[in-house]
Amino acid sequence: MATVDCVLKLGGSALTHKSQLETLRAESLRGAAALVHKLHGAGQRRCIIVHGAGSFGHFQAKEHGIASGTSARSADDDNLRCGLCLTRLSVTKLNHLVTEELVSHGIPAVGISPFGTWKTSCKNVIQTGIDTVKDVLDSGYVPVLHGDCALDSEQHCCILSGDKIIEVLAKKFSPRRVVFLTDVSGIYSCPPDTPGARLVDSIVVGPDGNMEPPVLSSVLPHDTTGGVSLKLQTAVNIVSQSHGTIPVLICKLDSEAAERACLTGELKEGEGTTFSFAES
């Protein structure tokens, strides 16, 4: 199988104002599309893009309890189905906006919704839409997936985060690198708005999955997928499962570092966070 150059997560925190319902950061989205255009121009044509929900989806999912599905209510609940539909309308709206911006920058981008093909059991992925992603890539298009609702065999539905999707994509495609672009410069020693928070340049993942140095994190009340702690877990899992052969980098969307991370897989000191595997 031809190599995938980059799996790129466009964070919902960077693409939207995450605390204001369905509010796009139009300038950041343009920046993201310009970045993908540069990657394409530099020969990185086999990229998979996944974006998060930000303020499109998390509010509706929280209000209707989509993440816990029927585990917290009756299996025959029409409100749950209605909430799932509203959540999907919101995330697919953002997917349309992201894909539209990419296409207007000349990228052959195609939006792909995970709902219906990706399935879970107790929130664990048991079926993926990988074949579709591969076909789309092999035909010369740039797949644009997104965090979505999923049908769940045990609890009717759940929320499938873009971060979780990326973990599966990394395992199946073994890309040259995985890059997460967010609204802050990388991973901090504690929440970035906390006094004394320091950007962590490098996180070493031990054989048992522990991180050195450890970090403290916080999450917004309406975030239904755990915020940055899920991203950390995803990064740890990718690095552990690939024994460090897939570098994971986290940096700010609106930055020069983002381009360097995607093109070279490297970041200078103070530009972001790089995950590596501890050799035993």
Q: Three-state SS for 203? A: strand
Residue 227: which of ligand IP8, ligand ATP, none does it interact with, CB under 5 to 8 A by kind? ligand ATP
Helices (H), strands (E): how many in the chain? 8, 13
- Alpha-carbon distance of 12 to 54, in angstroms, equals 4
12 binds ligand IP8 (CB under 6 A): yes
In the window 164-223, what residues touch ligand IP8 (CB under 6 A)?
A: none
The reply on whether position 54 binds ligand ATP by CB under 6 A is yes
Q: How many chain residues touch ligand ATP (CB under 6 A)?
A: 25
3-state secondary structure of 220: coil
Rounded to a whole number of angstroms, the minimum distance from the CB of residue 169 to ligand ATP is 15
DSSP 70: G
Q: Is 272 in the site for ligand ATP (CB under 6 A)?
A: no
Q: Site map for ligand ATP, 108-147, x if CB under 6 A? A: ----------------------------------------
Q: Which is nearer to ligand IP8, 91 or 168 (CB)?
A: 91
Residue 151 or 187 with smaller CB distance to ligand ATP: 187
> If you search the block for the tokens 């410069």, which residue do you land on?
185
Q: Which of 91, 157, 211, 253 contacts ligand IP8 by CB under 6 A?
A: 91
The residues with which 159 forms a beta bridge, in sequence order, are 149
Would you mind telling me the total number of residues written for the chain in this entry?
A: 280
By CB under 6 A, name the one of 47, 159, 168, 248 that touches ligand IP8: 159
* Separation of alpha carbons 49 and 8, rounded Å: 5
234 near ligand IP8, judged by CB under 6 A: no
User: Exactly one of 4, 6, 13, 249 binds ligand ATP (CB under 6 A); which one?
Assistant: 13
61 sits near ligand IP8 (criterion: CB under 6 A):
yes
Helix (H) / strand (E) containing 80: helix 78-104
How many whole angstroms separate alpha carbon 13 and alpha carbon 35?
Answer: 17
Q: Does 58 bind ligand IP8 (CB under 6 A)?
A: yes
Closer residue to ligand ATP, CB minimum distance, 225 or 237: 225
Smallest gap from Cβ 228 to ligand ATP, in A, equals 4
Q: At what angle do helices 162-173 and 130-138 cross, to 10 degrees?
A: 70
29's tokens:
């989205």
Cβ contacts of 80 within 8 Å, gap of 6 or more: 64, 65, 66, 69, 70, 73, 156, 157
145 is a site residue for ligand IP8 (CB under 6 A):
no
- Residues contacting residue 241 through CB under 8 Å, at least 6 positions apart: 170, 171
Q: Which is nearer to ligand ATP, 118 or 188 (CB)?
A: 188
Using CB under 6 A as the binding rule, whether residue 148 contacts ligand IP8 is answered as yes
Shortest approach of ligand IP8 to residue 220 CB, angstroms?
A: 11
Amino acid at 137: L
Binding residues for ligand ATP, per CB under 6 A?
11-14, 18, 52-54, 162, 182-184, 187-188, 190-192, 215-218, 225, 227-228, 231
